[in-house]
Structures are given as structure tokens and as C-alpha cells.
Amino acid sequence: MLHISRNVIIPDHEIHFSAIRAQGAGGQNVNKVSSAVHLRFDVARSSLPDFHKQRLLALRDRRINSEGVIVIKAQSHRSQEKNRAEALARLREMIIAAGRTVKKRRPTKPTRGSQQKRLDSKTRHGRTKALRGKIY
């Protein structure tokens, strides 16, 4: 089971793993051992709350294909178990990030004091630069 939060838990049968051979350097070991992991998670058929499903499917992420299946490839570790744990951690982070609501920014105006302070610093800076000129 993958625990997302206190209320959101993904059962093991909804997450599918397949072992593949890792890419890149690794000598003979990379040709013999399937240490990389593909994680597949179908968002639409999952037991996630509708809020999380909608937010995940609305993401513009290359890891989500057109059928709404999240595919995560983990291959940075030499052992399959560590790659599996990393893929689960990435899925968890993705779901948590999709569930966060971003606080809407309310535009503010600068205070009169801050405007005056800015203008004073500009005047001072201009005076300093004027003193750098040639003396005739």
C-alpha cells in the first residue's frame, strides 16, 4: 500500500510494475540483469478521490499518456528494489503536488514610504554617478 495522506491510500493491486533492462553504463551487468522498473498507474480506474483524479488528469506532464495512465521509469539504482522504491516515491510526490492548491496572489500597491525611499536612493545613486564625470 502506498500512503499519500492520512485519508488517501493506494492499494498494491492498482500499481503495476515491470522490470526492464537499464540503459547506460554498467558493464556486463547491465546486459544480464533487469534492474530498471516501469511503474504504471491508471488514474481513471484507481480508488483515488475524484479531486485528486481531476487534478492529475489536468496536469500537462509527459509521464501521463493519453489514456490517463501514469508511467514512471526508475533506473538510477543498481538494484530493482531501490528502483521500485524510488518509482513509488515519485508517484507519491506527483499525487501530493497535484493535490496542493496554490493560493491566488492578490496584487498590492507599494506604500508611500517605500516609493519615497526608492526615489531617494535613485537620486543618491544619480549624484554618485554625476561625480564620476570629467572635470573641465
**In-domain check, residue 136:** no
pLDDT band at 108 (very low <50, low <70, confident <90, very high): very high
Residue 112 pLDDT exceeds 90 = yes
Please state, in angstroms and rounded to a whole number, the distance separating the CA atoms of residues 115 and 132.
26
Residue 99 pLDDT exceeds 70 = yes
**In-domain check, residue 107:** no
pLDDT in tens, 23-44: 876 667 667 778 889 999 998 8
Which residues have CB under 8 Å from 33's CB, separation 6+? Answer: 21
pLDDT band at 86 (very low <50, low <70, confident <90, very high): very high
Which one, of 115, 107, 92, lies nearest residue 9 by Cα?
A: 92
We report the CATH number of the domain holding residue 7 as 3.30.160.20
**Mean pLDDT in residue range 67-75:** 91
For residue 82, the model assigns a pLDDT of 92
Backbone φ, ψ for residue 110 (5° rounding): -70, 145
Cell, residue 46: 484507481
For residue 26, the model assigns a pLDDT of 66
Please state, in angstroms and rounded to a whole number, the distance separating the CA atoms of residues 86 and 43.
19
**In-domain check, residue 110:** no
Q: Which residues span the domain enclosing 54?
A: 2-99
For residue 40, the model assigns a pLDDT of 93
**In-domain check, residue 12:** yes
What is the number of structural domains in the chain? Answer: 1
Residue 79 pLDDT exceeds 80 = yes
**In-domain check, residue 18:** yes
